[in-house]
Protein backbone atom coordinates (compact mmCIF):
# COMPACT_ATOMS: atom_id res chain seq x y z
CA UNK A 1 0.00 0.00 0.00
CA UNK A 2 1.73 3.15 -1.24
CA UNK A 3 1.35 6.20 0.98
CA UNK A 4 1.53 9.60 -0.69
CA UNK A 5 0.14 12.57 1.20
CA UNK A 6 0.87 16.26 0.91
CA UNK A 7 -0.04 18.39 3.93
CA UNK A 8 -0.28 22.16 3.96
CA UNK A 9 -0.18 24.55 6.90
CA UNK A 10 -1.18 26.71 8.72
CA UNK A 11 -3.73 24.41 10.24
CA UNK A 12 -6.71 25.09 12.51
CA UNK A 13 -6.30 23.71 16.02
CA UNK A 14 -8.35 20.63 16.69
CA UNK A 15 -8.33 18.00 19.41
CA UNK A 16 -5.74 15.25 18.99
CA UNK A 17 -6.55 13.28 22.16
CA UNK A 18 -8.00 10.33 20.26
CA UNK A 19 -4.65 9.88 18.49
CA UNK A 20 -2.94 9.31 21.83
CA UNK A 21 -5.76 7.28 23.38
CA UNK A 22 -5.94 3.52 23.10
CA UNK A 23 -8.51 0.84 23.96
CA UNK A 24 -11.54 2.00 25.93
CA UNK A 25 -10.17 5.49 26.44
CA UNK A 26 -10.54 6.19 22.72
CA UNK A 27 -14.30 5.56 22.98
CA UNK A 28 -14.97 8.06 25.78
CA UNK A 29 -16.45 11.43 24.87
CA UNK A 30 -13.72 14.05 25.03
CA UNK A 31 -14.20 16.95 27.46
CA UNK A 32 -11.60 19.25 25.88
CA UNK A 33 -13.95 21.77 24.26
CA UNK A 34 -11.95 21.91 21.01
CA UNK A 35 -13.05 21.02 17.50
CA UNK A 36 -13.43 17.26 16.80
CA UNK A 37 -13.83 17.44 13.05
CA UNK A 38 -14.28 14.14 11.27
CA UNK A 39 -12.09 15.24 8.39
CA UNK A 40 -8.49 15.16 9.52
CA UNK A 41 -6.55 18.38 9.48
CA UNK A 42 -2.88 18.50 8.45
CA UNK A 43 -1.54 18.46 11.98
CA UNK A 44 -3.64 15.45 12.95
CA UNK A 45 -2.35 13.60 9.88
CA UNK A 46 1.23 14.45 10.83
CA UNK A 47 0.68 13.18 14.38
CA UNK A 48 -1.11 10.09 13.07
CA UNK A 49 1.86 9.14 10.89
CA UNK A 50 4.44 9.78 13.63
CA UNK A 51 2.41 7.82 16.19
CA UNK A 52 2.21 4.89 13.76
CA UNK A 53 5.86 4.11 14.64
CA UNK A 54 6.27 0.64 16.13
CA UNK A 55 10.06 0.15 16.00
CA UNK A 56 11.87 3.43 15.38
CA UNK A 57 11.47 7.15 14.81
CA UNK A 58 14.36 9.23 13.48
CA UNK A 59 13.79 12.98 13.68
CA UNK A 60 16.12 15.50 12.04
CA UNK A 61 14.83 19.05 12.57
CA UNK A 62 16.33 22.51 12.79
CA UNK A 63 14.04 23.60 15.61
CA UNK A 64 11.89 21.55 18.01
CA UNK A 65 9.62 23.53 20.31
CA UNK A 66 6.17 22.15 19.48
CA UNK A 67 4.74 20.67 22.67
CA UNK A 68 2.29 18.32 20.91
CA UNK A 69 5.10 16.88 18.79
CA UNK A 70 7.34 16.44 21.83
CA UNK A 71 4.42 14.73 23.58
CA UNK A 72 4.21 12.35 20.60
CA UNK A 73 7.95 11.63 20.75
CA UNK A 74 7.75 10.93 24.50
CA UNK A 75 4.67 8.76 23.99
CA UNK A 76 6.60 6.61 21.50
CA UNK A 77 9.73 6.54 23.68
CA UNK A 78 7.63 5.35 26.64
CA UNK A 79 6.09 2.62 24.49
CA UNK A 80 9.59 1.31 23.67
CA UNK A 81 9.96 2.80 20.20
CA UNK A 82 13.62 3.63 19.51
CA UNK A 83 13.60 7.41 19.02
CA UNK A 84 16.63 9.42 17.85
CA UNK A 85 16.65 13.19 17.40
CA UNK A 86 19.15 15.42 15.60
CA UNK A 87 18.82 19.20 15.98
CA UNK A 88 20.67 22.37 15.14
CA UNK A 89 23.39 23.41 17.58
CA UNK A 90 22.26 27.03 17.88
CA UNK A 91 18.52 26.48 17.99
CA UNK A 92 18.41 23.75 20.61
CA UNK A 93 18.30 26.28 23.45
CA UNK A 94 15.72 28.73 22.06
CA UNK A 95 12.72 29.63 24.20
CA UNK A 96 10.32 26.73 24.39
CA UNK A 97 12.80 24.22 23.01
CA UNK A 98 11.73 20.69 23.93
CA UNK A 99 15.25 19.27 23.67
CA UNK A 100 16.19 19.54 27.37
CA UNK A 101 12.97 17.83 28.36
CA UNK A 102 13.45 15.04 25.82
CA UNK A 103 17.00 14.42 27.03
CA UNK A 104 15.82 14.31 30.65
CA UNK A 105 13.29 11.67 29.63
CA UNK A 106 16.08 9.59 28.13
CA UNK A 107 15.54 10.28 24.42
CA UNK A 108 18.92 10.30 22.62
CA UNK A 109 19.47 13.71 21.05
CA UNK A 110 22.48 14.80 19.02
CA UNK A 111 23.23 18.23 17.62
CA UNK A 112 25.27 19.34 14.66
CA UNK A 113 28.95 19.30 15.61
CA UNK A 114 30.39 20.29 12.26
CA UNK A 115 31.07 23.76 11.03
CA UNK A 116 27.90 23.74 8.97
CA UNK A 117 26.20 27.06 9.55
CA UNK A 118 22.92 25.29 10.32
CA UNK A 119 21.49 21.80 10.45
CA UNK A 120 18.45 23.01 8.54
CA UNK A 121 16.72 19.72 7.70
CA UNK A 122 13.08 19.15 8.60
CA UNK A 123 12.43 15.45 8.13
CA UNK A 124 11.54 12.31 10.05
CA UNK A 125 11.64 8.62 9.16
CA UNK A 126 9.09 6.27 10.76
CA UNK A 127 10.08 2.59 11.13
CA UNK A 128 12.68 3.10 8.39
CA UNK A 129 9.88 3.03 5.83
CA UNK A 130 7.86 6.25 5.93
CA UNK A 131 9.31 9.70 5.30
CA UNK A 132 7.89 13.05 6.41
CA UNK A 133 9.76 15.98 4.89
CA UNK A 134 9.20 19.56 3.81
CA UNK A 135 9.46 23.11 5.08
CA UNK A 136 7.86 22.61 8.51
CA UNK A 137 10.00 23.03 11.61
CA UNK A 138 8.63 21.39 14.74
CA UNK A 139 7.42 24.63 16.29
CA UNK A 140 4.01 26.03 17.23
CA UNK A 141 4.39 28.94 14.77
CA UNK A 142 5.10 26.63 11.85
CA UNK A 143 1.97 24.57 12.47
CA UNK A 144 -0.45 27.34 13.43
CA UNK A 145 0.75 30.48 11.64
CA UNK A 146 3.06 29.84 8.69
CA UNK A 147 2.51 28.80 5.11
CA UNK A 148 4.25 25.39 5.13
CA UNK A 149 4.25 22.03 3.36
CA UNK A 150 5.00 18.43 4.28
CA UNK A 151 5.23 15.42 2.04
CA UNK A 152 4.53 11.99 3.51
CA UNK A 153 5.69 9.08 1.38
CA UNK A 154 6.75 5.46 1.66
CA UNK A 155 8.30 5.33 -1.81
CA UNK A 156 11.54 3.42 -1.14
CA UNK A 157 13.41 5.43 -3.80
CA UNK A 158 12.69 8.55 -1.76
CA UNK A 159 12.88 7.16 1.77
CA UNK A 160 16.20 5.31 1.40
CA UNK A 161 18.42 8.38 0.75
CA UNK A 162 16.90 10.22 3.74
CA UNK A 163 17.39 7.14 5.93
CA UNK A 164 21.02 6.99 4.82
CA UNK A 165 21.54 10.70 5.43
CA UNK A 166 20.09 10.41 8.94
CA UNK A 167 22.49 7.59 9.75
CA UNK A 168 25.46 9.58 8.36
CA UNK A 169 24.53 12.64 10.40
CA UNK A 170 23.91 10.53 13.52
CA UNK A 171 27.37 8.96 13.31
CA UNK A 172 29.12 12.18 12.30
CA UNK A 173 27.68 13.97 15.32
CA UNK A 174 28.53 11.42 17.98
CA UNK A 175 29.86 13.53 20.87
CA UNK A 176 31.85 10.59 22.30
CA UNK B 1 10.26 8.26 -17.33
CA UNK B 2 9.86 8.74 -13.59
CA UNK B 3 12.25 11.21 -12.00
CA UNK B 4 13.13 10.68 -8.35
CA UNK B 5 16.23 12.38 -7.01
CA UNK B 6 17.20 13.34 -3.49
CA UNK B 7 19.86 16.06 -3.18
CA UNK B 8 21.78 16.86 -0.04
CA UNK B 9 23.68 20.00 0.86
CA UNK B 10 26.11 21.65 1.66
CA UNK B 11 27.65 21.25 -1.73
CA UNK B 12 31.16 22.01 -3.02
CA UNK B 13 31.29 24.87 -5.50
CA UNK B 14 31.82 23.78 -9.06
CA UNK B 15 31.44 25.49 -12.41
CA UNK B 16 27.89 25.64 -13.79
CA UNK B 17 28.69 27.52 -17.02
CA UNK B 18 27.99 24.52 -19.23
CA UNK B 19 24.42 24.41 -17.86
CA UNK B 20 23.80 27.91 -19.19
CA UNK B 21 25.73 27.47 -22.44
CA UNK B 22 24.11 26.25 -25.62
CA UNK B 23 25.31 25.20 -29.08
CA UNK B 24 28.98 25.80 -29.83
CA UNK B 25 29.58 27.71 -26.61
CA UNK B 26 29.03 24.51 -24.63
CA UNK B 27 31.98 22.87 -26.44
CA UNK B 28 34.56 25.58 -25.64
CA UNK B 29 37.04 24.93 -22.82
CA UNK B 30 35.95 26.92 -19.77
CA UNK B 31 38.40 29.52 -18.42
CA UNK B 32 36.78 29.86 -14.98
CA UNK B 33 39.39 28.03 -12.92
CA UNK B 34 36.74 26.17 -10.84
CA UNK B 35 36.18 22.45 -10.53
CA UNK B 36 34.57 20.77 -13.58
CA UNK B 37 33.82 17.42 -12.05
CA UNK B 38 32.13 14.88 -14.29
CA UNK B 39 29.91 13.66 -11.49
CA UNK B 40 27.23 16.24 -10.89
CA UNK B 41 27.03 17.85 -7.49
CA UNK B 42 23.71 18.66 -5.81
CA UNK B 43 23.65 22.29 -6.87
CA UNK B 44 24.35 21.45 -10.51
CA UNK B 45 21.49 18.94 -10.43
CA UNK B 46 19.18 21.59 -8.98
CA UNK B 47 20.17 24.09 -11.68
CA UNK B 48 19.85 21.41 -14.36
CA UNK B 49 16.27 20.64 -13.34
CA UNK B 50 15.27 24.31 -13.12
CA UNK B 51 16.87 25.12 -16.47
CA UNK B 52 14.96 22.24 -18.07
CA UNK B 53 11.82 24.45 -17.95
CA UNK B 54 10.36 25.08 -21.39
CA UNK B 55 6.95 26.58 -20.57
CA UNK B 56 6.74 27.66 -16.94
CA UNK B 57 8.57 27.89 -13.64
CA UNK B 58 6.68 28.55 -10.40
CA UNK B 59 8.92 29.37 -7.45
CA UNK B 60 7.61 29.64 -3.89
CA UNK B 61 10.46 30.36 -1.46
CA UNK B 62 10.85 32.05 1.90
CA UNK B 63 14.14 33.70 0.95
CA UNK B 64 15.75 34.29 -2.45
CA UNK B 65 19.27 35.72 -2.41
CA UNK B 66 21.27 33.11 -4.34
CA UNK B 67 22.77 34.84 -7.36
CA UNK B 68 23.20 31.65 -9.42
CA UNK B 69 19.55 30.77 -8.91
CA UNK B 70 18.43 34.26 -9.83
CA UNK B 71 20.63 34.03 -12.92
CA UNK B 72 18.80 30.81 -13.82
CA UNK B 73 15.41 32.46 -13.33
CA UNK B 74 16.43 35.43 -15.51
CA UNK B 75 17.85 33.06 -18.14
CA UNK B 76 14.49 31.29 -18.36
CA UNK B 77 12.53 34.56 -18.32
CA UNK B 78 14.67 35.86 -21.22
CA UNK B 79 14.04 32.65 -23.16
CA UNK B 80 10.28 33.22 -22.84
CA UNK B 81 9.54 30.77 -20.04
CA UNK B 82 6.65 32.04 -17.90
CA UNK B 83 8.22 32.53 -14.47
CA UNK B 84 6.24 33.38 -11.31
CA UNK B 85 7.79 33.91 -7.90
CA UNK B 86 6.16 34.04 -4.45
CA UNK B 87 8.27 35.12 -1.48
CA UNK B 88 7.89 36.01 2.17
CA UNK B 89 6.88 39.60 2.92
CA UNK B 90 9.55 40.20 5.56
CA UNK B 91 12.46 38.45 3.86
CA UNK B 92 12.12 40.00 0.43
CA UNK B 93 14.26 42.99 1.40
CA UNK B 94 17.08 41.22 3.23
CA UNK B 95 20.67 41.92 2.21
CA UNK B 96 21.43 40.29 -1.11
CA UNK B 97 17.79 39.63 -1.92
CA UNK B 98 17.35 39.09 -5.66
CA UNK B 99 13.70 40.12 -5.67
CA UNK B 100 14.19 43.78 -6.65
CA UNK B 101 16.42 42.76 -9.54
CA UNK B 102 13.95 40.11 -10.74
CA UNK B 103 11.09 42.63 -10.63
CA UNK B 104 13.15 45.16 -12.57
CA UNK B 105 13.75 42.52 -15.23
CA UNK B 106 9.98 41.98 -15.53
CA UNK B 107 9.59 38.73 -13.59
CA UNK B 108 6.23 38.72 -11.79
CA UNK B 109 6.82 38.45 -8.04
CA UNK B 110 4.16 38.34 -5.33
CA UNK B 111 4.67 38.30 -1.59
CA UNK B 112 2.54 36.94 1.20
CA UNK B 113 -0.25 39.43 1.93
CA UNK B 114 -2.06 37.44 4.60
CA UNK B 115 -1.43 37.55 8.29
CA UNK B 116 0.56 34.31 8.12
CA UNK B 117 3.67 34.86 10.20
CA UNK B 118 5.83 33.60 7.34
CA UNK B 119 5.47 32.22 3.84
CA UNK B 120 7.96 29.51 4.70
CA UNK B 121 7.66 27.21 1.67
CA UNK B 122 10.71 26.19 -0.34
CA UNK B 123 9.44 24.60 -3.51
CA UNK B 124 9.34 25.07 -7.25
CA UNK B 125 7.31 23.48 -10.04
CA UNK B 126 8.88 23.13 -13.50
CA UNK B 127 6.51 22.99 -16.50
CA UNK B 128 3.71 21.94 -14.14
CA UNK B 129 5.20 18.47 -14.03
CA UNK B 130 8.38 18.41 -11.93
CA UNK B 131 8.54 19.36 -8.25
CA UNK B 132 11.60 20.48 -6.30
CA UNK B 133 10.90 20.72 -2.56
CA UNK B 134 12.65 20.40 0.78
CA UNK B 135 14.43 22.47 3.38
CA UNK B 136 16.62 24.56 1.06
CA UNK B 137 15.98 28.29 0.83
CA UNK B 138 17.36 29.95 -2.29
CA UNK B 139 20.34 31.53 -0.52
CA UNK B 140 24.12 31.12 -0.76
CA UNK B 141 24.36 29.88 2.85
CA UNK B 142 21.79 27.15 2.28
CA UNK B 143 23.66 25.77 -0.73
CA UNK B 144 27.23 26.15 0.50
CA UNK B 145 27.10 25.92 4.30
CA UNK B 146 23.96 24.29 5.68
CA UNK B 147 22.82 20.71 6.06
CA UNK B 148 19.82 20.70 3.69
CA UNK B 149 17.75 18.39 1.52
CA UNK B 150 15.77 18.64 -1.71
CA UNK B 151 13.53 16.09 -3.31
CA UNK B 152 13.02 16.21 -7.08
CA UNK B 153 10.05 14.21 -8.34
CA UNK B 154 7.64 14.05 -11.24
CA UNK B 155 5.20 11.73 -9.44
CA UNK B 156 1.84 13.33 -10.35
CA UNK B 157 0.35 12.37 -6.96
CA UNK B 158 2.99 14.55 -5.33
CA UNK B 159 3.32 17.33 -7.90
CA UNK B 160 -0.41 18.07 -8.28
CA UNK B 161 -1.07 19.26 -4.70
CA UNK B 162 1.96 21.58 -4.80
CA UNK B 163 0.85 22.95 -8.18
CA UNK B 164 -2.60 23.60 -6.72
CA UNK B 165 -1.16 25.25 -3.63
CA UNK B 166 1.02 27.54 -5.76
CA UNK B 167 -2.02 28.63 -7.75
CA UNK B 168 -4.03 29.27 -4.56
CA UNK B 169 -1.22 31.35 -3.04
CA UNK B 170 -0.68 33.23 -6.32
CA UNK B 171 -4.35 34.24 -6.50
CA UNK B 172 -4.66 34.94 -2.77
CA UNK B 173 -1.69 37.31 -2.91
CA UNK B 174 -2.73 39.36 -5.92
CA UNK B 175 -1.96 42.95 -4.87
CA UNK B 176 -4.50 44.37 -7.36
ZN1 LIG C 1 -11.02 16.69 22.53
ZN1 LIG D 1 34.14 26.62 -15.69
Q: Which residues pair with B61 in a beta bridge?
A: B87, B122
C-alpha of residue B100 to centroid of ligand 2, in Å: 28
Say if residue A91's pLDDT is above 90. Answer: no
Say if residue A25's pLDDT is above 70. Answer: no
Say if residue B12's pLDDT is above 90. Answer: no
Q: Ligand 1 (ion): which residues have CB within 5 A?
A: A 15, 17, 30, 32
Q: Ligand 2 (ion): which residues have CB within 5 A?
A: B 15, 17, 30, 32
- A50 CB near a chain B CB, below 8 Å? no
Just give the CATH number of B4-10+40-172: 3.30.870.10
Cβ atoms of A72 and A45 within 8 Å: the answer is no
Identify all chain A residues contacting B146, using CB atoms and an 8 Å cutoff.
116-120
Cβ atoms of A105 and A113 within 8 Å: the answer is no
What pLDDT does A151 receive?
98
- Could you tell me which residues come within 8 angstroms of residue A36 by beta carbon, excluding any fewer than 6 positions away? A14, A15, A18, A30
Interface confidence: ipTM more than 0.95:
no
- A153 CB near a chain B CB, below 8 Å? yes
* A106 C-beta neighbours (distance < 10 Å), count: 10
3-state DSSP of B40-53: CCHHHHHHHHHHCC
Q: What is the pLDDT of residues A45-57, one digit of tens each?
A: 999 999 999 999 9
What pLDDT does A29 receive?
80
What pLDDT does A95 receive?
80
| Interface contact flag, A135 B157, Cβ < 8 Å | no
Q: Domain boundaries in chain A?
A: 4-9+40-172
For residues B134-149, give the mean pLDDT.
96
- Please tell me the class of the A4-9+40-172 domain: alpha beta
Amino acid sequence: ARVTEVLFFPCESSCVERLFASGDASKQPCPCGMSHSLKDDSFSRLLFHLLSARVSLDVCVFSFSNTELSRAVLHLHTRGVCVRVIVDRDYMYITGSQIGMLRKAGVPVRHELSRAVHMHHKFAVVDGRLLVCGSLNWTMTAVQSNQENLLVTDDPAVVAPYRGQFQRLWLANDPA
